[in-house]
Amino acid sequence: MPKSNRKKEKKQKKKKTTQPELGTEDILKIFVSLWPLAILLAILVFGFYLRLYHYQYPVIGYHNWKTTHYITEARNFAREGFFKEGFFVPMRDTTESIYENPTGAHYDTFPAISIIVGAVFKLFGISLSVARLTNIFLSLGSVAAFYLLIKELFKREDIALLCAFLAAVNPLYVFFSHNVQVVNPGILFMLLGSFFYIRWINQDLKKNHLLYLAVFFIMLACITKYTFAVISIPVLITFPYKRIFRKKETFIAPGIISGIIASGFPLWFIYSEFYLKNTVYKPGIDLPSGTDSLTGLIDLSLVFNSQFWQIIKSYVADNFTLLGMVFMFLGLLLFIILFFTKNKDKMSYRFIFGYSIALFVFIFVMGFKLSSHNYHQFPVAPLIIFMIAFFIDVAAKNIANFVNDSNLKKTAYIAVIILLFIIPLSQGKNFLQHMQDSRDRMFNTQFPGLDIAGEYINQHALPDDRVFHSSGQSFGILWHADRKGYKPPANVEYFMRAESEFNVSWVFAYQWGLQNYFQNPEIFEYLKNNYRLVQFAYIPQGEQAQPLYFLFRKGGSFNDSQLNEMLQDKQILVKNYQRTDMPYEVRFINLE
């Protein structure tokens, strides 16, 4: 072969192996394929910004008692290890009474948040900001998992991104990402399990690892907080029974493996409710009301009580705004109409319809819990958020359909959604402003001074000292004091036993708790004769002073008639706090 021909052949081979250059059209296609990911990332960054508010703030806020419960468990896991009292037995500082295990060990749902935060404490040190950031990332993980679930269900980026945005700005999720509570990992596990379940079905049941992941995460959600079992209703309604029955031989092994994974739920329930309840907790003593036992939840009569709905109305106003609930009911109505007229056979619609049925079952079964705290709405919040998004999506789609130009339809759709979020809709405020108001109501519910008294105890107490506090929302003092504590004593005998056997040496009487100590003649007399006042705090109101709390230490005495003389000429210290609207201050005096 002539040399010239060989050179030509080499050049042709080089041309074949050389990668083709990317043209403008190719780059545009890549950009279009990446835009949903870019928008999701922007949503997560914005959600992170919203959740950073007060992430270093003391434990004095709304539901600080729950945060203290789990964050002290995490601190004890980090210090004592995860198996001191048994297999992941939680040890809290917020003990109900002196009859509990002195270590704070108790029976409960699986302490997922305490384990996660405890592990992070071991890596980065024990601090409030580390605990809060951990919860913030769990919350953002839920936003991403919600996006994946809706996208997998409906195969649409727009509705999935809209749901992710609403979850990122939702007041319930924003505020409680700031609180260390089991609901944060619970909702993440539930959404991840649902996503893997739908993906397993969409993959024609061929990828068993997706089934195992679905069962694992749903099981984990259920043992973290039993109420997350609500997701089992849409799963059971959409489960592919016929397809599995046709190929039953193929599914014997996956079924056994899935059953083994799912057995984690009954195993933990039996371990906690029957073994731990009668061992580490101590049998025969009044059990704590804060545990998540399945017993005693059902009270159907509550749902027919007008007072119940007044409470629920205030909670949904905080969690989703009243305007959001109007959107939710409109979305639910539209969804049901479309389900029965056009989409009854679609798996995506059947799953959401099953979730809607679960919502009504949830209200009846969980009536008592729902009327006590707003965070109990966490397991059904994704459905409410989806229905809000569904209404906005249908409204935007129908308005966009009036545009004849097909190229402008997507632009019109996006424009309508943006307008719904920025134009005034009620009370002269847009939807996002209503969301912010709801979040601020929760952020601005504060109980200042718990950190001041707690830090004083931390600096002056002996290592084994314990505290009587005022119960309610005063548990936050225990995190800052780094000491275990109890609710107020019912009588002097209990008071004396707590001192002699459990080294209770401090009494913290907060505003509402003054009656427990000052208005019980027997307790007050014992307190005056055996304790001295070491710190007093008040809130200035013009020229007047509203007492905030009294902190007493064992030893000495206290004469309430000489309070003004005791405080006279003492240095007045000031601690500044911050609400979303304005700062405020607490003044306090150390007598020692």
Residue 298 CA, chain-centre distance (Å), reads 23
Compute how many other C-beta atoms are within 10 angstroms of the C-beta atom of residue 81. Answer: 11
DSSP 488: P
Report the DSSP pairing between strands 544-554 and 504-510.
Answer: antiparallel
Q: How does residue 290 score in pLDDT terms, banded at 50, 70 and 90?
A: very low
Mean pLDDT of 514-526: 92
- Would you say 170 and 385 are in contact if contact means Cβ atoms under 8 Å apart? yes
pLDDT reported for residue 284: 41
Q: List C-alpha distances in Å: 163 to 144, 159, 167, 306, 378.
A: 10, 6, 6, 32, 15
Q: How does residue 289 score in pLDDT terms, banded at 50, 70 and 90?
A: very low
pLDDT reported for residue 580: 86
pLDDT reported for residue 21: 61
561 token code pair:
């008639």
Position 20 pLDDT exceeds 60 = no
Q: How does residue 529 score in pLDDT terms, banded at 50, 70 and 90?
A: very high
Q: List C-alpha distances in Å: 432 to 140, 173, 273, 535.
A: 19, 14, 43, 43
Strand order in the sheet with 583-590: 485-486, 466-468, 504-510, 544-554, 531-541, 583-590, 573-578
pLDDT reported for residue 293: 47
- Would you say 500 and 549 are in contact if contact means Cβ atoms under 8 Å apart? no
Percent of the chain with pLDDT over 70: 91
Report the DSSP pairing between strands 485-486 and 466-468.
Answer: parallel
- Greatest mean pLDDT among 27-41, 179-193, 290-304 lies in 179-193
- Would you say 192 and 231 are in contact if contact means Cβ atoms under 8 Å apart? no
pLDDT reported for residue 421: 84
Token pair 């000489």 in the structure block, residue = 562
Residue 299 CA, chain-centre distance (Å), reads 25
97 vs 404 pLDDT, higher one: 97
Position 190 pLDDT exceeds 80 = yes
pLDDT reported for residue 261: 97
Q: Which residues contact 109 (CB under 8 A, 6 or more apart)?
A: 182, 223, 224, 225, 226, 268, 272, 291, 292
Each residue of 118-165: pLDDT tens digit? 999 999 999 999 999 999 999 999 999 999 999 999 999 999 999 999
Position 333 pLDDT exceeds 80 = yes
DSSP 446: B
Position 439 pLDDT exceeds 60 = yes
Mean pLDDT of 220-224: 97
Compute how many other C-beta atoms are within 10 angstroms of the C-beta atom of residue 160. Answer: 22
Mean pLDDT of 326-351: 95
Which phi-psi region, left, alpha or beta, contains residue 556 (left: φ > 0; alpha: ψ -120 to 50)? left
pLDDT reported for residue 523: 94
Residue 197 CA, chain-centre distance (Å), reads 23
Token pair 């990668």 in the structure block, residue = 19
pLDDT reported for residue 258: 96
Q: List C-alpha distances in Å: 454 to 93, 130, 275, 324, 467.
A: 13, 19, 34, 39, 10
Range of weakest confidence among 25-39, 238-252, 328-342: 25-39
325 token code pair:
């609930």
Q: How does residue 543 score in pLDDT terms, banded at 50, 70 and 90?
A: confident
Each residue of 377-426: pLDDT tens digit? 999 999 999 999 999 999 888 888 887 766 777 788 888 888 888 888 88
Position 40 pLDDT exceeds 50 = yes
Mean pLDDT of the chain: 89
Position 209 pLDDT exceeds 80 = yes
pLDDT reported for residue 286: 46
Range of weakest confidence among 97-111, 169-183, 302-316: 302-316
